[in-house]
Amino acid sequence: MFTYHRTIRVQDTDATGVLYFANQLQIGMEAFEEFLASQGFSLNEMIEKKKFLLPVVHAEADFAAPLYLGDQLEVTLSFSHIGNRSFTHTSDILKGGKKVGTVTIIHAVLCPKTKRATPIPLELSKIFTCA
Amino acid sequence: MFTYHRTIRVQDTDATGVLYFANQLQIGMEAFEEFLASQGFSLNEMIEKKKFLLPVVHAEADFAAPLYLGDQLEVTLSFSHIGNRSFTHTSDILKGGKKVGTVTIIHAVLCPKTKRATPIPLELSKIFTCA
Amino acid sequence: MFTYHRTIRVQDTDATGVLYFANQLQIGMEAFEEFLASQGFSLNEMIEKKKFLLPVVHAEADFAAPLYLGDQLEVTLSFSHIGNRSFTHTSDILKGGKKVGTVTIIHAVLCPKTKRATPIPLELSKIFTCA
Amino acid sequence: MFTYHRTIRVQDTDATGVLYFANQLQIGMEAFEEFLASQGFSLNEMIEKKKFLLPVVHAEADFAAPLYLGDQLEVTLSFSHIGNRSFTHTSDILKGGKKVGTVTIIHAVLCPKTKRATPIPLELSKIFTCA
């Protein structure tokens, strides 16, 4: 399990006074990005060297409580499924130790040239076991 | 069924060259906002007059094809469930007539004062039958 | 002069109840994108074919009135300066016929390979005279 | 001078492969938010208690170098002007110790009821001297 800390900022909120719903899904992706960086994996290099692509094929979120400007969140990411050509990470979002939401994202793994599904590369699968 | 047209703009995309995933969920919400406006319902008035709140309690999306800068989308919104204290809208996203994704969003209806679930107000339920 | 119409949506606003300031700058860019599209110029093709780059080197905005969810804006874009290797577009933002803000953006023109400034390509300069 | 650290994430970038320009202005605001929080000032409380408003009246940014996904930035914020009813903060953005951009934002101070300019409250002016 990997932990990411995040503060709700002005641009995350909307006129109803709370976190704009799609930004909660963004926070789930940020946790994944931060996890990869913590393991020394560079998404920028992956894109520039056209190693492989990790498009999102499904995403979902549950919202259990409103989140306000300035709220300090603890986001715990884990890999709930690691398949052959896709994987799933789930982030629990906690505020003051209480779960206020979840985000689940399924990524496919594609070959940039053929745009076809390809097995999860070793450099990723070996670090997925770290969360 | 309500139809909303949307062009993918620079800010919608990310460094992988396609639509950033969370922005597809945003597009599903935009379709709902546009539908409400088309029926003469003002979200701003709803917020300012503290009539009721419509927080998102669940959201999900499927992604069937990459979407690029400049893509012109047709988004068709319908209400897949209208309950007592919550409702669900689903948007199919089409590009060149082909379905490239979906977004489903469940809203609760809350009383702003008590923050408790309350029945869908008549002014909303009567227009939900229009999509 | 080119006119772009834009409605303020939930995701454009923040917890203060009005348009988040950086999103006004985004609206100025959208007007430019919409102008290019109206002239048959594809930004996506420009990026994919690595023809040239148009990075922003300076941007500024003035804010004369708060903008609310649902506000319908008229954005008028014109080219205030067309230099040798850079150009400037300015958007006036109007609400109900009254000016509520401006956005000015200066773009350089770069060669993607050398990353050096290059003259404005003819395919752009000839359409800039249309706004 | 106050220092804020920020990593460029996927959602900050666009299809040109670099930071979307308006998100640099957002980073300047984040630095201000982070500074206020570091001084114990709560923007959420300010909004909820309707103490005063701090609308942006002018914002500008210079862009000296492209910023990429994963870049780690150091943002140094200082108050370049503190007037009677407005104030200005400027953020220098550094990457690897080299300045790659700036953001300057001017806020007015308004009374929420009258929507008129009001002197900078003591609770703000006393902390502005800390940056």
Q: Which pLDDT does position B130 carry in this prediction?
A: 81
- Residue-wise pLDDT tens digits, A91-108: 999 999 999 999 999 999
Do residue A7 and residue D37 have CB atoms under 8 angstroms apart?
yes
CA distance A17 to A1: 31
Per the CB < 8 A criterion, the answer to whether A5 and C10 are in contact is no
C-chain CB neighbours of B69 within 8 Å are 43-44, 47
Q: What are the beta bridge partners of residue A7? A: A72
Q: Is D12 among the residues known to form the active site? A: no
Mutate to test the interface with A, among C7, C12, C13, C24 (most CBs of A within 10 A): C13
Predicted pLDDT of residue D129: 83
Q: Which amino acid, residue C95? A: K
Instruction: Determine which of C25, C58, C62, C107 to mutate to test the interface with D (most D C-beta atoms within 10 Å).
Output: C25
Cβ contact (<8 Å) for B18 and D13?
A: no
Q: Whole-angstrom Cα distance, residue C73 to residue A3?
A: 42
Q: Searching chain D, which residue's CA lies closest to the CA of residue A41?
A: D70
Answer positive or negative: Cα dihedral of C51, C57, C62, C67: positive
Residue D103 has pLDDT above 90, yes or no: yes
For residue D99, what pLDDT band results from cuts at 50, 70 and 90? very high
Find the mean pLDDT for residues C21-49: 97
- The mean pLDDT of chain C is 96
Whole-number pLDDT of residue D131 = 78
| pLDDT above 90 for D93 | yes
> Is C86 a residue whose pLDDT tops 90?
yes
φ/ψ (deg, to 5) at D128: -65, -25
| Chain C contacts to A (CB-CB under 8 A) | 10-11, 13-18, 20, 22, 68-69
- The rounded distance, in Å, linking the Cα atoms of A103 and A19 is 14
Q: pLDDT tens, A104-121?
A: 999 999 998 898 999 999
| B87, B21 contact by CB (below 8 A) | no
Place C24 in a pLDDT band, splitting at 50, 70 and 90. Answer: very high
So what's the pLDDT on residue D55? 97
Per the CB < 8 A criterion, the answer to whether A6 and A69 are in contact is: no
Residue C48 C-alpha, separation from nearest chain B C-alpha, in angstroms: 9
The answer, yes or no, to whether residue A129 has pLDDT greater than 90, is no
Query: What does the pLDDT look like over A27-73, one tens digit per residue?
Result: 999 999 999 999 999 999 999 998 899 999 999 999 999 999 999 99
Spatial contact of B67 and B74, defined as CB atoms under 8 Å apart: no
Share of chain C above pLDDT 90, in %: 93
In this complex, do D13 and B14 lie within 8 Å of one another by their Cβ atoms?
yes
Domain count, chain A: 1
Phi, psi of D14 (to 5 degrees): -135, -175
Q: Name the nearest CA neighbour of D29 among D106, D96, D101, D82.
A: D106
Residue C90 has pLDDT above 90, yes or no: yes
The sign one gets for the Cα dihedral D37, D41, D46, D49 is positive
pLDDT score recorded for residue D51? 87
Summarize the confidence of residues D26-53 as an average pLDDT: 96
Q: Which domain holds residue A45?
A: 2-128
Nearest to B94 by CA among B118, B119, B77: B77
DSSP string of B79-124? Answer: EEEE-SSEEEEEEEEEETTEEEEEEEEEEE-B-TTT--B-PPPHHH
- Supply the mean pLDDT for chain A: 96
| Contact in structure between C73 and C95 (CB atoms under 8 Å) | yes
C102, pLDDT greater than 90:
yes
Q: Give the mean pLDDT of D46-75.
A: 96
pLDDT at A130: 81
pLDDT at C51: 87
Rounded CA separation B90/A21 (Å): 15
Confidence of residue C130 (pLDDT cuts 50, 70, 90): confident
Q: What is the CATH number of the domain that holds D15?
A: 3.10.129.10
Whole-number pLDDT of residue B110: 94
Against chain A, the chains showing at least 3 CB pairs within 8 Å are B, C, D
Contact A47 D7 (CB under 8 A): no
What letters, b where the CB count within 10 A reaches 16 and e where it falls short, cover A41-79?
eebbebbeeeebbbbbbbbbbbbebbbbbbbebebbbeb
Contact check, Cβ <8 Å, D43/A70: yes
Mutate one of B16, B21, B44 to test the A interface: name it (highest A CB count within 10 A): B21
Of D9, D44, D68, Cβ closest to residue A68: D44
Smallest CA-to-CA distance from A24 within D73, B60, B88 is with B60
Q: Is the pLDDT of residue D15 over 90?
A: yes
Find, among A92, A61, A90, A98, the residue nearest to B57 by Cα: A61
Contact call for B62 and A60, based on CB within 8 A: no
Tokens of D97: 């110790």
- Chain D CA closest to residue A18: D44
Nearest residue to B61 via CA among B31, B96, B97: B31
Pairwise CB contact (< 8 Å): A15 & C14: yes
Residue A127's contacts (CB-CB under 8 Å, 6 or more residues apart) are: A36, A39, A41
pTM greater than 0.90 (yes/no): yes
Which residue of A10, A42, A43 is in closest CB contact with D10?
A43
Q: What is the pLDDT of residue B131?
A: 79
Q: Which residues of A are catalytic?
A: 14
Residues in chain B predicted with pLDDT less than 50, given as ranges, are none
State how far the alpha carbon of B131 is from the alpha carbons of B31, B90, C82, D49, in Å.
11, 11, 47, 39
CB A54 within 8 A of CB A115: no
Per-residue confidence (pLDDT) for residue D38, from 0 to 100: 96
> Tokens 């409250």 — which residue?
D121
DSSP D78: E
CB C44 within 8 A of CB B69: yes
pLDDT recorded at residue A93: 98
